[in-house]
Amino acid sequence: MRFIVLGAAAGGGFPQWNADSRACRRARAGDPAALPATQAGAAVGVDEGRWLLINASPDLRMQIEATPALHPHDGIRSSPIKAVVLTNADIDAIAGLLHLREGTPFALYGHGRVLRTLGVNPVFEVVDRSVVPRREIEADVTFTPADATGEALGLRITPFLAPGKVPLYQEGEDATDVAARQGDTLGLDITDGRSRIVWLANCALVDEAVRARVEGCDLLCMDGTLWRDDEMVVQGVGRKTGRRMGHVSMSGEQGAMAALEHCRIGRRLFVHVNNTNPALLADSAERAELEERGWRVAHDGLEVRL
Ligand code: MLT
Ligand code: MN
């Protein structure tokens, strides 16, 4: 399998349009230890020329241009992107679908709750259903992703319910259960029959069920939104904790590193990293600590061959 990180950052990207933090200033100044990053997504391919995307971030157009494997090479109107699987309906996971509206076929996979969100937003009808079939996936039901004509892409994917919440724009007045498992947030267990990748870029907490899901995988792409739970509060850029936003933090007793310490995992990679997270900075103490503990922070364009 070829796995390419298209975007390593959380919603907003790095630097974020309205952020003037020291880290964002360093990124804008071209500091090599503060590499800019686009909003989270990845591409998975088995054979050359056919790719499945995990999510479609608002940065998808530039991500495609930055990734030669995703350039058209099979006719004047064509694309090697044959399928897109959505793990949730957050803006940073679905807005990029609007870039894929030009009438080239691919298949779109999502949980019923996510497809319903697309269905009630008529703007997504620009991704013409007669060209781009929408296929519902279910938790714990393994499927074989295929292109729009039904030709299999050589992968098997088992989606699973990750602890998470509805998208921000669907939150009501009431406090929502931020660790519910209802299909609003999925993890993906992806295999070509030889290796396993687990994509878990949105995960509110790591419990026994999550540990069981990641056990034995060759590559884990884990929610790396925040270093510590109150990071945005402390930095004065928000009132919500990571937990309230549906994101476990990297550090701390309940954090992802501690909770996954004893799992058998080939490579541990953090993705969906927020611009407030000091571990984004290659010269930070936090980066050094996580690397010491066997983790890496993804960057745009990072490729892993499995
Ligand atoms: C998240 O991951 O919490 C969301 O992407 C936040 C957002 O909608 O900006
Ligand atoms: Mn997000």
Report the top-level CATH class of 2-305.
alpha beta
> Residue 179: pLDDT above 80?
yes
Task: Give the CA dihedral 37, 39, 44, 45, nearest 10 degrees.
Answer: -70
Q: How confident is the model over 93-151, as pLDDT tens digits?
A: 999 999 999 999 999 999 999 999 999 999 999 999 999 999 999 999 999 999 999 99
Pocket test for ligand 1, best of 55, 92, 237 (most atoms within 8 A of CB): 92
pLDDT tens-place string over residues 265-294: 999 999 999 999 999 999 999 999 999 999
Residue ID of nearest Cα to ligand 1 atom 2: 11
Segments making up each domain of the chain, as ranges? 2-305
What is the Cα–Cα distance from 112 to 238, expressed in whole angstroms?
Answer: 31
pLDDT in the model for residue 103: 95
The answer, yes or no, to whether residue 154 has pLDDT greater than 80, is yes
Per-residue CA distances from 269 to 35, 216, 273, 287, 290 (Å): 17, 15, 11, 12, 10
What confidence category does residue 201 fall into, taking pLDDT thresholds of 50, 70 and 90?
very high
Residue 174 reports pLDDT greater than 70: no
Q: Tokens 């590193």 identify what position? A: 257
Specify the pTM.
0.98
206 φ/ψ sector (left φ>0, alpha ψ -120 to 50, else beta): beta
pLDDT at 175: 63
For residue 151, the CA-to-ligand 2 centroid distance in Å is 31
